[in-house]
Structure 1
């Protein structure tokens, strides 16, 4: 047969060697097997996921402890959400100072039961944002300055006494705790959110009381903090809260390191007096914000009604 004269075949000639499969066929067969394996694996995975999910659901249904744990998590989430929402309403004066808090209305608007609402309000009461009157319910804390000066005077007495005792009783490592605490927060202090600034400031002053070695001073200062915390937060958000606070804290730390009890107490007293002055101004502006939100229009209307 003359090969040169043979026409070119349309399909390639496959040489079949006994004992071996054609390369193309083998490749196709491997592909089919791989696809089949992949499908079986995918089906198996989906089946396993279904089984695991069903087992988890069955376990939660059949195991009371798991069901109780899940319910506890849901309740905690609801309570935290209620706390954050109500706190925001308070800080933004959407709930006005002195106003009675309607738990039923809050429950409906937040879509939760009254239990998480009550838990949130109790937490806010412990933080000084609201007050609880027996048989009447929760009220938004008043912005009145009545009693405020007495509390700050008491705070000044406690803190000055604590500083002097700290200088007498604390060892060098304890004094270094105060210095380290302030150095760790001072750089970012003025740029922090109001809640963080408030917490760090309270921590600074409570540490001085703790280092005095007198737990009663710590307890009394903590009690005062709870009663003025709401008003202090307003003051921290006010423009009057400036970098002078940083300077005073740094000077107090320096006096502690030198164990200069008299100068440190004097610095603390001046620091608290400066805070009182700034707080009074912040309260005045806050009252205008609450009762005269539209450039004093509401306040003018009230005055006209009073004079009529």
Structure 2
């Protein structure tokens, strides 16, 4: 029950049923999900460990509102870890893992324009999970798990607003990374992976700045209307 509750609440966060900054009230969540407040409390603790919710002393739990600094740091960590994993994948991945990676990239490229952003983000998650597996470094996989929730959240948000052209460019970059991995070119795979993450970072940060500017504009309008 606890795990199912975690999954339910996590998906609600990824799909922005609850917005950044929203307060999460145990009683209301229990009524909405039909589970006990104990299960809700345990699930929120798990989501807090993933960085998706934040506990404010004396006030309760809130949906994490990522700052520009935090988003930049998340992508910096991704660039370091994922580019290193691409290099290790070249050195250690089996042919079976290479074939599985090709299949996962193909599936991600088949995303229909009407498909939910969350589903597409899951397919991209699966691509990078295979790369992590093929890299064969369990300690690094544990490190990336600490970022996983926030990375998937950002990936879902950016996918939701990405244009069809941007998605095509994303897939072209993934295919380029795969070609380097298949050719066992560690230097190129590492370089392309870092570029892929830095491109994602620039897009996410631009969205964050735009949302901040819109929020300020809305706030000023409300004061004027008042």
Q: Distance in 1 between matches of 2:11 and 2:97?
A: 36
Query: Which residue of 38, 50, 53 maps to 1:115?
Result: 38
Greater gyration radius:
1
1:250, distance to aligned residue in structure 2 (A): 1.1
1:145 aligns with 2:68: yes
1:231 aligns with 2:141: no
1:164 aligns with 2:87: yes
Query: Which residue of 111, 118, 125 maps to 1:188?
Result: 111
Secondary structure in 2 aligned to 1:142?
Answer: coil
Higher mean C-alpha displacement, 279-288 vs 207-216 = 279-288
Secondary structure in 2 aligned to 1:139?
Answer: strand
Query: Which residue of 189, 192, 202 maps to 1:267?
Result: 192
User: C-alpha deviations, 1:124-147, integer Å up to 9, x for none?
Assistant: 446643234577532111132122
Secondary structure in 1 aligned to 2:68?
Answer: coil
Would the alpha carbon gap of residues 191 and 168 (structure 1) be closer, same or farther in structure 2, given more than 3 Å must change?
farther
| TM-score, normalization by structure 1 | 0.60
In structure 1, the partner of 2:202 is 277
In structure 1, the partner of 2:137 is 214
1:280-299 alignment to 2 at 5 Å? 280-287=205-212, 291=215, 296-299=217-220
Preserved CA contact (<8 Å) 1:126 1:226: no
1:116, distance to aligned residue in structure 2 (A): 4.2
In structure 2, the partner of 1:98 is 21
In structure 2, the partner of 1:3 is none
The runs of 5 or more residues in structure 2 that have no matched partner are none
The runs of 5 or more residues in structure 1 that have no matched partner are 1-75
| TM-score, normalization by structure 2 | 0.79
Secondary structure in 1 aligned to 2:162?
Answer: coil
Would the alpha carbon gap of residues 173 and 199 (structure 1) be closer, same or farther in structure 2, given more than 3 Å must change?
same
In structure 2, the partner of 1:257 is 182
Which structure carries more relative contact order (alpha carbon 8 Å, separation 6+)?
2
Preserved CA contact (<8 Å) 1:252 1:264: yes
Q: Distance in 2 between matches of 1:302 and 1:246?
A: 44
In structure 2, the partner of 1:58 is none
1:123, distance to aligned residue in structure 2 (A): 5.3
Preserved CA contact (<8 Å) 1:206 1:222: no
Q: Distance in 2 between matches of 1:272 and 1:158?
A: 10
Preserved CA contact (<8 Å) 1:128 1:228: no
Would the alpha carbon gap of residues 155 and 111 (structure 1) be closer, same or farther in structure 2, given more than 3 Å must change?
closer
Would the alpha carbon gap of residues 271 and 196 (structure 1) be closer, same or farther in structure 2, given more than 3 Å must change?
same
1:199 aligns with 2:122: yes
CA RMSD of aligned residues (A): 3.4
In structure 2, the partner of 1:70 is none
Preserved CA contact (<8 Å) 2:50 2:147: no
